[in-house]
Amino acid sequence: MIKKKRVMKILVLLVSILTINIAFAGCDKYTSVKDELQNKQLNTNKNNSNNINSEKNIADKEEPAKILEDTKEDNSNIITITAIGDCTLGSFPEVTEGKSFEDVLQANNNDYGYPFKNAYNWTKSDDLTLINFEGTLTDATELANKKWRFKGPKEYTNFLTASSIEVVNIANNHSFDYLEEGYNDTVKNMNNADIGVSGNEYICTKNINGTKIAFIGHEVIYEPQDIYDKLKHEISTAREEGADIIVCSFHWGIEYNNMPTPYQQKLGHYAIDTGADLVIGHHPHILQGIELYNGKYIAYSLGNFVFGGNEILYDKKHKDVDTILLRHEINLQDKKISDIQLSIVPFRLSGDKEYNNYQPIVLNGEEGIRIKDKLINLSKDLKYGIKSLEIEN
Ligand SMILES: [Zn+2]
């Protein structure tokens, strides 16, 4: 009898040990599910407070078991983010018949891959692509009382999904071209197409293989004084909510001016001092220099890219058709940024040389080098201007 009890005790002990082992073996999975839950919680909180957008876990495409294995062996991670300047997908009421974005699209069989076709190599191979979305996607007809008013129909989100563009900044001087209705429609249409909306009151977060990236954006052309406190608050909140990388878009500067104003420089530095990791600028419609400030890059203006707001390439105002894709390869070690490699892909903003065909083309060879040298020259006048730059082909 006593012997039987002992055997029972041993059996119970064995079962307990086995149970504990199974629990430990499932630890990684548990952590992963917990992370997922936390991410969801983060999103729910954000959706409640800030209308923050849904995250898209690119890890979904891979086999979960492989990801767990990778995380176990190595705590380093590389995230590639491509940034693109001013994009207007659509047109304006005063456009010449036959020359509008819609006309060119129609002539190209309404192919949603058409405008970003030559950028697709890079937008699809990165983790995330961010563009400045300079316009609206709406059926609204009531116009703002201003000179240029841009819009396209809601289906134009297809240009972004077809081109692997995951995040848009809407903090610019065209997001209210069709007033509140146009603005709200644009946000709604982007959300419905699962495109991350950042800028103004929207902070977008994305989760790439466990790395959380927050996108913040502001239009600061008229130098709002409350921007400093607002930015500080947003950046610290994003960090508290677990962002490993913070990307800040600024719509700023003087149109067709290659030199960042003192205000741009002050705010760019302030954003980095406050905790931003990348600063992406636009609005001047042409390229401005790049700074490396305390280990972080500030690109003051990326220029136009697919720009439905200009039908003609050259006139009194428009003389410059140079543009780029800006690539950031961000290395993380234990979720902290250890290094950022910056490179460019030089582009000309239209394939056609006279009229805008709304399909930028890659510039190779000497033309590409010319754009690289131009950026380095523009950076020379900046206190922390970069001295070299890689071209990615
Ligand atoms: Zn602008």
Say if residue 16 is in the same domain as residue 96. no
Question: Ligand 1 center to residue 361 CA distance, Å?
Answer: 22
Q: Is the pLDDT of residue 45 over 80?
A: no
Which parts of 203-346 fold into alpha helices (H)? 227-240, 262-274
Residues around ligand 1, an ion, CB closer than 5 A? 172-173, 283
Closest CA to 84 of 167, 155, 159: 167
Distance, CA of 134 to CA of 117 (rounded, Å): 19
- pLDDT digits 0-9 by tens, 320-355: 999 999 999 999 999 999 999 999 999 999 999 888
Average pLDDT over residues 238-249: 98
Question: Ligand 1 center to residue 175 CA distance, Å?
Answer: 9
List residues bridging with 215 in a β-sheet: 204, 247
Question: Ligand 1 center to residue 219 CA distance, Å?
Answer: 8
Q: Name the average pLDDT for the chain.
A: 86
- Pair of tokens at residue 360: 């930028």
Question: Ligand 1 center to residue 250 CA distance, Å?
Answer: 10
Distance, CA of 52 to CA of 238 (rounded, Å): 11
Strands 290-293, 304-307: pairing kind: unpaired
Question: Phi-psi bin for 389: left (phi > 0), alpha (psi -120 to 50), beta?
Answer: beta
Say if residue 31 is in the same domain as residue 71. no
Average pLDDT over residues 140-147: 93
Question: Ligand 1 center to residue 146 CA distance, Å?
Answer: 13
CATH number of domain containing 241 = 3.60.21.10
Question: Ligand 1 center to residue 283 CA distance, Å?
Answer: 4
- pLDDT digits 0-9 by tens, 254-267: 999 999 999 999 99
Which residues lie closer than 8 Å to 3 by C-beta, 6 or more apart?
Answer: none
In a domain, 42, yes or no: no
Question: Ligand 1 center to residue 382 CA distance, Å?
Answer: 22
pTM for this structure?
0.81
Which residue do the tokens 């205000």 mark? Answer: 263
Q: Is the pLDDT of residue 4 over 60?
A: no
Residue 49 confidence (pLDDT):
37
Say if residue 233 is in the same domain as residue 309. yes
Q: Higher model confidence: residue 312 or residue 78?
A: 78
SS (H, E, C) 79-126: EEEEEEEEEECCECCCCCCCCCHHHHHHHCCCCCCCCCCCCHHHHHHC
Question: Ligand 1 center to residue 187 CA distance, Å?
Answer: 18
- pLDDT digits 0-9 by tens, 48-63: 333 444 444 444 444 5
Q: Is the pLDDT of residue 106 over 50?
A: yes
Question: Ligand 1 center to residue 45 CA distance, Å?
Answer: 31
SS (H, E, C) 123-163: HHHCCEEEEEECCCECCCCCCCCCCCCCEECHHHHHHHHHC
Q: Is the pLDDT of residue 281 over 50?
A: yes
Question: Ligand 1 center to residue 125 CA distance, Å?
Answer: 28
Residue 313 confidence (pLDDT):
83
In a domain, 44, yes or no: no
Question: Ligand 1 center to residue 183 CA distance, Å?
Answer: 15
CA-based radius of gyration for the chain: 24
Helix, strand, coil percentages (3-state) for the chain, rounded to 5, are: 35, 25, 40
Say if residue 86 is in the same domain as residue 187. yes
Question: Ligand 1 center to residue 58 CA distance, Å?
Answer: 31
Q: Is the pLDDT of residue 186 over 90?
A: yes
Strands 390-391, 128-133: pairing kind: unpaired
Contact status, residue 153 vs residue 186, Cβ threshold 8 Å: no
Say if residue 77 is in the same domain as residue 134. yes
Say if residue 357 is in the same domain as residue 254. yes
Q: What percent of the chain has pLDDT over 90?
A: 74
Question: Ligand 1 center to residue 133 CA distance, Å?
Answer: 10
Say if residue 74 is in the same domain as residue 7. no
Query: 369: pLDDT confidence band, cut at 50, 70 and 90?
Result: very high
Query: 44: pLDDT confidence band, cut at 50, 70 and 90?
Result: very low
Question: Ligand 1 center to residue 257 CA distance, Å?
Answer: 13
Contact status, residue 279 vs residue 260, Cβ threshold 8 Å: no
At residue 52, φ and ψ (nearest 5 deg) are -75, 150
Residue 8 confidence (pLDDT):
54
Distance, CA of 174 to CA of 152 (rounded, Å): 12
Segments forming the whole domain that contains residue 29: 2-37
Q: Is the pLDDT of residue 69 over 70?
A: no
Distance, CA of 15 to CA of 7 (rounded, Å): 12
Query: 73: pLDDT confidence band, cut at 50, 70 and 90?
Result: low
Q: Which residues of 110-121 are buried (b: 16+ CB within 10 A; e: fewer)?
A: eebebbbbbbee
Say if residue 234 is in the same domain as residue 203. yes
Say if residue 296 is in the same domain as residue 221. yes
Question: Ligand 1 center to residue 249 CA distance, Å?
Answer: 12
Question: Ligand 1 center to residue 26 CA distance, Å?
Answer: 51
Query: 6: pLDDT confidence band, cut at 50, 70 and 90?
Result: low
Say if residue 248 is in the same domain as residue 140. yes
Question: Ligand 1 center to residue 81 CA distance, Å?
Answer: 22
Question: Ligand 1 center to residue 134 CA distance, Å?
Answer: 7
Question: Ligand 1 center to residue 154 CA distance, Å?
Answer: 21
Query: 316: pLDDT confidence band, cut at 50, 70 and 90?
Result: confident
Closest CA to 154 of 116, 129, 125, 182: 182
Distance, CA of 95 to CA of 104 (rounded, Å): 12
Residue 258 confidence (pLDDT):
95
Question: Ligand 1 center to residue 287 CA distance, Å?
Answer: 13
Question: Ligand 1 center to residue 11 CA distance, Å?
Answer: 74
Q: How many domains does the chain have?
A: 2
Strand order, beta sheet including 290-293: 204-208, 211-219, 245-251, 278-282, 296-299, 290-293
Say if residue 32 is in the same domain as residue 124. no
- Pair of tokens at residue 190: 């982007």
